[in-house]
Structure 1
Amino acid sequence: MTMELPVVLVLWFVFSLTVITNGDETIDLPPCDYSAIYNFGDSNSDTGGLAAALYPEGPPSGETYFKMPAGRASDGRLIIDFIADNLGKPYLSGYLDSIGSSYGQGANFATGGATIQRVNESWFQNGVSPFPLEIQVEHYTQFKDRSAYFYKETKDECLRKRLPNPDGLSKALFTLDIGQNDVAFGIRSLSLEQQKTAIINVVSQFISQIRVLYERGARAFWVHNTGPIGCLPVTHAKVKDPLPGYLDEIGCVKDQNDVALLFNQQLKVEIVKLRAELTNATLVYVDMYAAKYELISQAKNQGFEDRFEICCGYHGIDYDVWCGNKGNVNGTEVYAGSCANPSAVISWDGVHYTEAANRWIANRIMNGSLSDPMVPISRACHKQMPVS
């Protein structure tokens, strides 16, 4: 006797699969059942780490969604928040934030100003975080070991719910979004030839930390490359009477973007090599640069104002008044408050993106169309994936 599945259940199963073509081969990928999300990065994905460890962002940050400062360099949510939404997970608590945090379905080790490279004392004067990627990975290791101990030892069910089940580690998604500060530091302090050498070393350190995460149980990696630094409004605001060729066709500083592209090219090469080494891992390389450049170049077609508009802050050739601060602009004291409509502006403070821009970028990357392999984030745990 055979049992037939209900029609509704059959249809649900069929349409829950993602069908990907690899040459003549068709691969069906069911949704991944991620146990948690663990994120590593800089201010582009910091949800409260640096604010808890050092000085928090003040008003008007957080005004759009959280209605108060929420440890994010934006008026609202970041790309990592929209990723969590997409995967049915709560917003990630910063590992360094002990107040009101829950880590049952993930944790965020990112901190604003973080680099891939190890830092020294002089870097701190340039706003670099004391928590580079190596330290973030060490924080993860401490978190993994200590949470596993307390999860097994405690009889407090409320505490257990706030901690990850150690048996689900291999089913977690590990997201990494870091490198922008390394590239920016090189642009400020090194010649072009020195930057090329530095990029090789920086990417090598990046790859070595992915190896460490793999050795400590990570299996599914979603790795963002770095964005178009030369398109940041704070960079554009410093340009005066540029020579021909200094800016690209949309007004971005071409040399700075070229360095970011060199970093991305090297990162992709090394990720491809790493796939052959870490045979039980899935490594998805995500072209964040392409997504951000597309948004910036098509700003008005996508419902945004001028691509170099800044919502909160004043920046010029010889002055910077950062969001939420007072300062002097051409002899007049000003307060850098929020613009009237942040949802119509791409840049929040000249460096970071508004919630509206972060939502646009997240939607652009999560479907996998800008990834290698071209797989949506909801299916990024599968080993059998086509690679471009």
Structure 2
Amino acid sequence: MATHQMIAFLLLALSIITEASSSTIVNPSSQCYTSLFSFGDSATAAGIYTKDLAPGTESPHCAFTPYGETYFHRPTGRCSDGRNIVDFLAQHLGLPLLPPYHGEYPSANSTSFLQGANFAVVSATVLDFEFLKGRGIVSCQNCSLSVQLARFKTLLGTLCSTPLECREYLKSSLILLGEIGGVDYMRAAFENLDSGGDVVEELMPIVVGRIGSAIEEMIKLGAVHFLVPGDFPKGCFPAYLTQFQTTNRSDYDALTGCLIRHNGVSSSHNAMLRDEIQRVQNLHPDVSIHYADYYGPSIRMHQDPIKYGMGRATVNQACCGAGGPYNYDPSAVCGRPGAVACEDPKSYVMWDDHHCTEAANAVIAAEVVRGPSFGLGCGRGKQPAPESFTAAE
């Protein structure tokens, strides 16, 4: 690995450890949930580790500046200029920002995770590496949902001593399972341009079914409170808009300028996911499983950016990029030489090619908190919803 990349990883690891160790322990009696465990991909991730990368893979661009500039003032492994959605949810619940867990901590340090952990990994897929490889789809080796679940079980074994004790511990835990699955579809679409739609359609029920089985696995361990986010409108992402750019105006939504077909994939996934959630809920009536809508608030920002303090002209452009109609150049992505960040990330929905700004994440998180599903079934009612979440100045 190049020297500058090794230095970046060391600095990143140090910042993560510092951030986790400085978190304040919150009195459990003062809140609804006493811990939060999060799974997902780069929309949720809060750390980057070499063990999750394929051999010879470069450090992900999220490990470098200007990532993190708005809130943390340094890269933390989050693929945004600041906080992601789970950060806002944790803060709203009175919990510390979740320390990332990638299996690297010995049990002696498990007390750092008593109030939760973030298992999400950049480029994570629902489906396993070997399965996707068999379909001609390249993915990272140690970041599938199965890997994240295995790490959760390992960590859980250090937080409680017996199955009964673990069930009691998980009774006051919230499981945020996602957003995940979008990378499976993205890899299929980008690497199989001629037949990408067919491959995605084939993968979708497998992806959604695996999410459902993951919920059931955690129910067996004692988890009873789940929030399961759907997909973002991928047809609004600068990478999609660049990769699948056409001259056919009918391919674009007239109101948002987003690609209709790819937003349709996200909508189909979300509909299928809601059905799967209901299936599992029917099997486990004593468990609380709720769908979290990330698509709705995201698409509303693209439809009416002015309402959210964002710019109409830049609504589908990346704040951080290297030019082009959507400010995205795959040869000079954010965090790499040639890319620069805009002066005011709060006026953008999209931070880079695939990820929202902190400002957009704040809007989505606020909608989730205000929704009927957040906090239900936890024994002490919902936490009061804030007037709004605010991005850092």
Tell me which interval the TM-score lies in, with the shorter structure as reference length. Answer: 0.7 to 0.9
- 1:58–1:384: structure 2 CA closer, same or farther, 3 Å change rule? closer
- The equivalent residue for 2:15 is none
Cα distance in 1 between the residues matched to 2:88 and 2:354: 19
Shift in Å, 1:244: 3.8
Cα separation, 2, equivalents of 1:298 and 1:286: 21
- Would you say the 8 A contact 1:295–1:361 is kept in 2? no
In 1, are the aligned partners of 2:166 and 2:221 still within 8 Å (CA)? Answer: no
State percent identity of aligned pairs: 29
Which residue of structure 1 aligns with residue 315 of structure 2? 307
Distance 2:272 2:246 in 1: 32
SS in 2 for 1:321: coil
Q: Is residue 118 of structure 2 the alignment partner of residue 108 of structure 1?
A: yes
Quote the residue 1:204 is aligned against. 209
Q: Which position in structure 1 is the counterpart of 2:336?
A: 325
Alignment partners' CA distance in 1, 2:198 and 2:128 = 21
Question: In 2 relative to 1, CA 127–347 (structure 1 residues): closer, same or farther, beyond 3 Å?
Answer: farther
Letter in 1 for 2:157: D
C-alpha displacement at 1:38, in angstroms?
0.5
Report the structure, 1 or 2, having the larger helix content: 2
The aligned amino acid for 1:222 is L
CA contact (8 A) 2:126 2:181 kept: yes
Matched residue SS, 1:248? coil
Question: What one-letter code is carried by the residue in structure 1 that aligns with 2:159?
Answer: S
Q: Does the 8 Å contact 1:282/1:382 carry over to 2?
A: no
2:219 alignment partner AA: Y
Deviations 1:180-202 (A, max 9, x none): 11221232324534432321111
User: What TM-score does the superposition give when structure 1 sets the normalisation length?
Assistant: 0.77
Aligned in 2, Cα 1:87/1:52: closer, same or farther, shift over 3 Å? Answer: farther
CA offsets, 1:78-116, max 9 Å, x none? 000000011000000001264999212001111011111
Residues 1:52 and 1:297: Cα distance change in structure 2 (over 3 Å):
farther
Give the secondary-structure state (helix, strand or coil) at the position aligned to 1:230.
helix
Matches within 5 A, 1:70-109: 70-96=76-102, 98=105, 102-109=112-119
Alignment gaps of 5+ in structure 2: 1-29, 54-58, 383-393
Q: 1:50 to 1:354 in 2, by over 3 A?
A: farther
Question: Residues of 2 paired with 1:347 and 1:319: CA distance?
Answer: 16
| Cα distance, 1:262–1:240 mapped onto 2, change above 3 Å | closer
Q: Which amino acid aligns with 1:209?
A: A
Could you list the per-position Cα deviations for residues 177-222 of structure 1 after superposition, in whole angstroms to 9, with x for gaps in the alignment? 1111122123232453443232111111111111101111111000
1:357 aligned counterpart, secondary structure: helix
Query: For residues 254 and 292 of structure 1, what CA distance do their matches in structure 2 show?
Result: 15
Structure 1 match to 2:147:
135
The Cα of 1:167 is off from its aligned counterpart by 4.0
Deviation per residue, 1:287-325 (Å, 9 max, x gap): 211121111221123111221121111264975311121
Q: Is the 8 A contact 1:32 1:380 kept in 2?
A: no
Q: Is the 8 A contact 1:78 1:358 kept in 2?
A: yes
Is residue 322–residue 340 contact of structure 2 (8 Å, CA) maintained in 1? no
- CA deviation profile, 1:5-51 (whole Å, cap 9, x unmatched): xxxxxxxxxxxxxxxxxxxxxxxxxx962120000100111111547
- How far the C-alpha of 1:355 sits from its partner, in A, is 0.9
Residue 340 of structure 2 aligns with which residue?
Answer: 337
In the TM superposition, 1:40-51 aligns within 5 A as: 40-50=39-49
The correspondence for 1:381, drawn from 378, 383, 386, is 378
Deviation sequence 1:329-388 (CA, Å, 0-9, x none): xxxxxx2122111121111112111111111111122111xxxxx33x233536999xxx
3-state SS of 2:210 partner: helix
Q: Aligned-residue CA RMSD in angstroms?
A: 2.9
Given that residues 49 and 95 in structure 1 are in contact (C-alpha distance below 8 angstroms), is that contact kept between their aligned partners in structure 2?
Answer: no
User: 8 Å contact 2:288–2:376 — kept in the other structure?
Assistant: no
Provide the TM-score with structure 2 as the length reference. 0.76
Structure (1 or 2) with the greater strand fraction: 1
Q: 1:144 aligns with which of 130, 136, 156?
A: 156
Q: How many residues align?
A: 328
Q: 1:267 aligns with which of 265, 269, 273?
A: 273
TM-superposed deviation, 1:147? 3.0
Q: Which amino acid aligns with 1:248?
A: D
